[in-house]
Amino acid sequence: MQTTAEQQWTELRVSDDARDDAEELRRRLAVDGYLFFKRLQDPDRLRALRREMLTVMQGGGWLVKGTDPMDGIADLDARCTEGDVEYTTVYHEVYKLESFHRIAHEPEILGMVERILGRPAMPHPQKIARLWFPQYTEHTTPAHQDFVHFQGNFQTLTCWAPVGDCPRELGGLAMLAGSHRTEKVLDHHFSLGAGALDVEMGKEERKRAWHSTDYECGDTLIFPPLTIHKALPNVTEDRLRVSLDNRYQAIGDPIAEHMLLPHLNIFNELTWEDVYRDWESEDLQYYWRKLENPVVPRDMSYLDRGFEEAVEQAKAGDPHARHYLARFVKRDPESEQARAAARVLEGDD
Ligand SMILES: O=C(O)CCC(=O)C(=O)O
Ligand SMILES: [Fe+2]
């Protein structure tokens, strides 16, 4: 058992010994609710991507001027997170990198997913990076099940990997081992942290142990959409945490419509055309259009309920809820939710 000021956790179980054994991989996934591999992905390729991503972030003013982008030394005055206009602006520049999309298609990761699923698979078009500032811990990703965000089907797998080393203080992912065994989507509630939804843990969940590790570049976690997980807080003095969490599904299974769009495009309508503008090759552009996956509508009820809770909490003066609502107003003042948020923040409601 490892202890930091805020967390207690057990080391993640490493499944390197079972890499080629599909049956054993599925058995472990059924027990633990995750699979963890050391250096499943090529660390050099991830380091090259790290340089590219952080160079864009430096250009966007997120890193201390004159520092090596590889060090990821954040300018604390630039702190922002998902939902903030300032975050989307720089994030979407990172999002245009061809290499950031391509890395999700490498055989080392896609092959592993196919072995686990036992079917041909594809990465979701919506790739995701997390660019998490230090000294900003109230925005840490709370405990949740991915299904509330990504939906589609229950076989989808999330693959989380840091882009660079990610020791505990940088705030890597922690898994609630075995928590997928509840076999249902649990209630989630408003939280300020990334994703804005915090799972309501039942008696069974509270008995379970958190598993995490000091991640090294290339290490990869794979888990299904009901496993509860969260990020540890980035308690470093000045380092950005950079990670990928891409999703994979068997070809032919349903996919939720928003997973066909660029991540966070609801905030500024970034299109695939925008993303592809400077790409050198076309093979990964619109690749999913050649594959048959039934598209199902996005279920907004989880986030809508969180919004309603934030409204109630903001009325009672909760600073996190007020901060959350203020983002809606800043982002798109004419939207229905922004108007409701403004009324609450101005005290007219
Ligand atoms: O990296 C994070 O903070 C959150 C990632 C996450 O929740 C996921 O990979 O599903
Ligand atoms: Fe997640």
Mean pLDDT on 137-143? 97
Of 1 and 243, the structure prediction assigns the larger pLDDT to 243
Per the listing, tokens 């589609």 go with 152
Ligand in closest contact with the CA of 247: 1
How far is residue 90's CA from residue 56's CA, in Å, rounded to a whole number? 8
Q: What atom of ligand 1 comes closest to residue 221's alpha carbon? A: 9
For the cut 60, the answer to whether the pLDDT of residue 243 exceeds it is: yes
pLDDT at 5 over 50: no
- Ligand 1 centre to CA of 75 (Å) is 23
Ligand 1 nearest atom to the CA of residue 149, by list position: 10
Q: Judge if the beta carbon of residue 245 lies within 6 A of ligand 1.
A: yes
Query: Cα(188)–Cα(303) distance, rounded to whole angstroms?
Result: 9
| DSSP string computed for 192-248 | SSTTSEEE---HHHHHSPEEE--B-TT-EEEE-TTS-EEEPP--SSSBPEEEEEEEE
**Averaged pLDDT for residues 32-40:** 98
Q: How far is the CA of 128 from the centre of ligand 2 (A)?
A: 11
Helix, strand, or coil (residue 69): helix
Give the DSSP H/E element, type plus range, for residue 322: helix 319-331
Cβ(134)–Cβ(94) below 8 Å: no
Name the pairing type of β-strands 210-212 and 8-11. Answer: parallel
Of the pLDDT bands very low, low, confident and very high (cuts 50, 70, 90), residue 188 is: very high
pLDDT at 267: 75
93: which 2 tokens?
């520049």
Each residue's pLDDT tens digit, 263-319: 999 877 899 999 999 999 999 999 999 999 999 999 999 999 999 999 999 999 999
Report phi then psi at 137, rounded to 5. Answer: -70, -20
Judged against a pLDDT cut of 50, whether residue 152 lies above it is answered with yes
| pLDDT greater than 60 at residue 3 | no
46-71 pLDDT, tens digit each = 999 999 999 999 999 999 999 999 99
Mean pLDDT over each residue of the chain, to the nearest integer = 96
| pLDDT over threshold 60, residue 9 | yes
* Res. 2: pLDDT tops 70: no
Strand partners, 121: 250
The total number of residues written for the chain in this structure: 349
**Looking at the predicted structure, is the pLDDT value of residue 21 above 50?**
yes
pTM over 0.85: yes
Residue 235 pLDDT exceeds 80? yes
State if residue 231 touches ligand 1 by the CB under 6 angstroms criterion.
Answer: yes
Per-residue pLDDT tens digits for 86-108? 999 999 999 999 999 999 999 99
Handedness of CA 117, 119, 120, 125 (dihedral sign): negative
Identify the burial level of 203 via C-beta atoms within 10 angstroms of its C-beta, where 0-12 means exposed, 13-18 middle and 19 or more buried.
exposed
**Would you say the CB of residue 243 lies under 6 angstroms from ligand 1?**
yes
Give 230: exposed, middle or buried? Use CB within 10 Å, 0-12, 13-18, 19+.
buried
Q: Which tokens is 46 given?
A: 């991830």
Distance CA 207, CA 191 (A): 22
Q: How confident is the model at residue 13 (pLDDT cuts 50, 70, 90)?
A: very high
Query: What residues pack around ion ligand 2 (CB closer than 5 A)?
Result: 146
pLDDT at 349 over 80: no
Q: What tokens appear for 324 in the block?
A: 């959350």
Beta bridge partners of 159: 222, 246
- d(CA 309, CA 95) in angstroms, rounded, equals 31
Q: Alpha-carbon Rg of the chain, whole angstroms?
A: 20
Chain CA centroid to CA 25, Å: 23
Assess whether pLDDT exceeds 80 at residue 172: yes
From the CB of 169, is ligand 1 less than 6 Å away? no
Tokens 């279920």 belong to 299
Q: Which atom of ligand 1 is nearest to the CA of 229?
A: 7
Q: Is the dihedral of CA 252, 264, 182, 12 positive or negative?
A: positive
pLDDT value at residue 8? 79
User: pLDDT value at position 258?
Assistant: 96
What pLDDT score was predicted for residue 98? 98
